[in-house]
Chain A
Amino acid sequence: MLIYDTRYRSLTIQVVAMIGFMLLAAWLINNTLANLNTLGKPIEFGFFAEPAGYDINQMLVEYNNQDSHLRAAFVGLLNTLLVAFLGCITATIVGVLVGVLRLSNNWLVARIMTVYVEMFRNVPVLLWIVLAMAVLIESLPAPSAFRGDEPEATMKLFDTIAITNRGVYVPEPLFSRSLGNFHLFGNSPLRFDVSLDLIVILAVLIASIFGMRTMSARANRIQESTGVRPKTWHINLGILIVPMVIVLALLGFHLGYPELRGFNFGGGTHLRNSLIALWLALSLYTAAFIAEIVRGGILAISRGQTEAANALGLRPGKTMRLVILPQALRVIIPPLISNYLNLTKNSSLAIAVGYMDITGTLGGITMNQTGRELECVLLLMLVYLVISLLISGVMNWYNNRVKLVER
């Protein structure tokens, strides 16, 4: 017998375990399929092409209730990506700030940051989301409070921003000589329009940044050869602003202000309070973890580095920015990736505040109206898997760039 042969024993055990595992998996799958067949619901994805029949409030691409379930899922996916993107950026900024300030020599600042971290870290994120929403709904005025000759509430910032318990209405950019949209993917459920105005503006912005980098490279060259760094900030400012102003003027840029129309505010961009609540709660919660990672990363850099920087005459702010943080990044980034993933996955709690992310559309209404639980959940898992792998792919690439190169 192979089991008594020391040369093959481990291999035998592994093979047997592997077969056992595969049998278990096969049994589970077979059982599921058999049960679904008995129920008369074999796995199929044809329902995706049928009209969804429901409306979604926040749409980044055009959608109406006669579009397919797949289109509705796509709208939900974009909403998920939006809140995850906004959340990751905000969480990083807040997290780094809090992490640095927690090490501050100022007793009060350091303690306040400790309280913040411990408060957010130790309460489930769902409760923070629900709380944020409840505060927004209960404490802000309803649009009807803006009505009448002597309204209870007024718009803020010279009548440009309306803060209501249905969300915040901010001015929207409009172009009177718009270049129109570039339509992608024809008539498929994944079709979407890209604003050509936005592309032009981004192109100009990138060109400006490239110009500014060229300028600072030239300044470096001059500084190295002569020892005197030429003044560049006014040139840089010009490179940044002048082309942008010209482009905006050519496109006929103006702002569309929100105004009260009928039941609601019309015009302007509507940031729904479901988005704000989710975004705030997710980023503040994740920022607490990121703050701890940042603090750990800074503490991992030996005290000698700070002392050396001080000895060279660098002020504390510059010591942190130029000496400590770049080194700490190497420790910070790997755990940061998993916090980004957590934030993205936690965004699936969106339905608690009625934010229509992909869990709310594909895994919520579509699943409920079509009764295809297994298909929807499997697809949903696949979507989150792909998003997570993409995030960690990008972050790993960045990590490889900043990590210590060992030879």
Chain B
Amino acid sequence: MKKSVFLGALTVAGMAAGVASAATVDDVKARGTLNCGVATGVPGFAAPDANGEWQGFDVAVCRAVAAAVLGDPTAVEFVPTTGKTRFTALASGEIDMLARNTTWTFSRDVDLKFTFVGVNYYDGQGFMIPKELGVTSAKELDGATVCIQTGTTTELNLADFFRVNNMSYEPVPIETNAEAQQQYLAGACDVYTTDASGLAATRATFETPADHVILPEIISKEPLGPLVRHGDDEWGDIVRWTLNALIAAEEYGVTSANLSDMASAATDNPEINRLLGTEGNLGEMLGLDADWAVKALGVAGNYGEIFEKNIGESTPIGLARGLNAQWTNGGLLYAPPFR
């Protein structure tokens, strides 16, 4: 009897020790698919198209990572998450990475135990309001009813903004962008607030986008980027440098048009050579193939191409590059050297 209890206790201890750390990259390779958390539907950023294929700016990051790790951009299981469910999904291991216009903040990085691998869109919180209300500044919103996605940083910024400016408001918490759109269009709230890019994307889907204005005030910094769980640095490095590869490729002029030429033989730019694996062993350092970045870039091209195709000025969403231009063009995008 005593022996069996002892053995049982041993098993318990052994199993508990065994759970702790299995590398995410090994899990992904063994599974053959990448589980990527995305938004439930923000046009341009992450939304299924008419054929049910996920398309968008955030989705492109997932596909690039899947291509770099598995060599197949379609080997992605997209998990739609709401502002509320996303962190639990990531922390519990249901998804391997989260690319869901998520703001990089101190407490999420430090206290929630996530690792933000970079920024793929520099954003800020704005307000959208029907033109007929005649409001021109967010300072005139005293007493307004505001639709707000619950569980987001925007919820806290909103509370701070109204408190600091000594104004009152009535929050209407909603779960997804689609619900917000329904309530806003029906007039159940006067104002919809979220990241300015999200507002532009939402407004683009309205019947008459011109009837709605986005107020000039941007009340917060919202650096949006992909994130992974704390404590698995190998996996974090893979996602980080895949994103950097997309950004660096634009800086060096690697596009989907000239990718195969540049990757087939070494060019006279050593930085490009190291990025595309024709020189050095960066891929091996990451634990991936030498042409990992070529595969990632082969999906939809570099950062600039992805931006233009999904949310750029030629799309209905029509966002300018602004802060999201390369540092050489006065923007904030700056990939560390591939060396």
A residues near B (Cβ < 8 Å) are 19, 23, 26-27, 30-31, 34-35, 38-41, 53-57, 64-66, 134, 137-138, 142-145, 165-166, 261-264, 266, 273-274, 351-352, 354, 356, 360, 364-365, 368-371, 373
Contacts and interface: CB of A to CB of B under 8 A. Distances in A.
A264 B143 contact: yes
B192 to A, nearest CB: 13
A366 B189 CA distance: 23
A35 B19 contact: yes
Contacts of B151: 364-365, 368-369
A57 B143 contact: no
A30 B231 contact: no
Contacts of A134: 182
B12 A26 contact: yes
Contacts, number: 133
Interface in B89-104: 91
Nearest to A33: B16
A354 B174 contact: yes
Given A34-B19, A39-B91, A261-B143, A57 B172 contact: yes
Contacts of A27: 11-12, 15-16
Contacts of B278: none
Given A31-B15, A54-B171, A263-B145, 6 more contacts: A39-B91, A54-B156, A261-B143, A263-B141, A351-B173, A365-B173
A137 B16 contact: no
B113 A137 contact: no
Given A27-B12, A351-B150, A39 B231 contact: yes
A365 B142 CA distance: 24
Nearest to B108: A371
B16 A365 contact: no
A373 B11 CA distance: 27
A144 B173 contact: no
Contact of B171 (A19, A40, A55): A55
A134 B107 CA distance: 36
A40 B84 contact: no
B159 interface: yes
- Report the 6 A-B pairs with minimum CB-CB distance, sorted nearest first: A142-B187, A371-B112, A368-B151, A65-B159, A262-B143, A354-B173
Contacts of B108: 371
Interface string B116-130: 000000000000000
B116 to A, nearest CB: 14
B170 A57 contact: yes
Interface of B: 4-5, 8, 11-13, 15-17, 19-21, 83-84, 87-88, 91, 107-108, 111-113, 132-133, 141-145, 150-151, 155-156, 158-160, 162-163, 169-175, 182-183, 186-190, 229-231
A360 B173 contact: yes
A273 B170 CA distance: 13
23 contacts: A27-B15, A34-B19, A40-B230, A53-B159, A54-B159, A54-B171, A57-B170, A57-B172, A66-B163, A137-B186, A138-B186, A142-B188, A144-B133, A144-B187, A145-B187, A165-B187, A273-B188, A354-B173, A360-B150, A364-B84, A365-B173, A369-B156, A373-B88
Contacts of B83: 368
A351 B13 CA distance: 40
Given A65-B159, A354-B174, A365 B20 contact: no
Nearest to A130: B179
Nearest to B142: A262
A41 B113 contact: yes
A73 to B, nearest CB: 15
A34 B159 CA distance: 36
B171 A56 contact: yes
Contacts of A55: 158-159, 162, 169, 171
Given A31-B16, A55-B171, A264-B143, A23 B8 contact: yes
A354 B187 CA distance: 16
B19 A365 contact: no
A356 B173 contact: yes
A56 B159 CA distance: 10
Contact of A354 (B13, B21, B172, B186): B172
A352 B182 CA distance: 13
A331 B84 CA distance: 43
A210 to B, nearest CB: 42
A144 to B, nearest CB: 6
Most buried by B among A145, A263, A364, A368: A263
A343 B150 CA distance: 24
A368 B84 contact: yes
A371 B87 contact: yes
A38 B232 CA distance: 11
Given A26-B12, A261-B143, A39 B188 contact: no
B188 A137 contact: yes
A38 B20 contact: yes
Contacts of B113: 39-41, 371
A142 B172 contact: no
B99 to A, nearest CB: 18
Contacts of B187: 142-145, 165
Nearest to A134: B182
Contacts of B169: 55
